[in-house]
Amino acid sequence: MKNCESILGKKILEIREIKGISQQQLALKAGLSKALITHIETGKRYPSDKALQKIIEALEITEDEILTEEVKNEYIKKIAEEAKPSEVIRAYRQIIKND
């Protein structure tokens, strides 16, 4: 992702601030670097699945609290913009198959 705002990053920032946790505290609790937390919150990077899970656990929230429809739609848009058409079709078929 290019240097732009991220709905997921904003959501992490919002929850972190509500809980009164600094970026450094979140990083330590999640076992991640403060720089990574900063990059995620500012939209410079998306977290890996593993990093996102660590953040969710460190914030003591559920996946549903952070993976809102708005966040999911942002991910879908990002994937669609970056993926090859054949990858999008393959992913769609897999989703349909699993429904």
pLDDT in tens, the chain (99 residues): 344 578 999 999 999 999 999 999 999 999 999 999 999 999 999 899 899 999 999 999 999 999 889 988 888 887 778 888 888 788 778 888 766
The CA distance from 31 to 25, in Å, is 10
User: In the chain, what are the domain boundaries?
Assistant: 7-98
CATH number of 7-98: 1.10.260.40
Integer-rounded Cα radius of gyration of the chain: 15
The CA distance from 83 to 97, in Å, is 20
Name every residue whose Cβ is closer than 8 Å to that of residue 84 and which is 6 or more positions away in sequence. Answer: none
Q: Is the pTM of this model over 0.85?
A: no
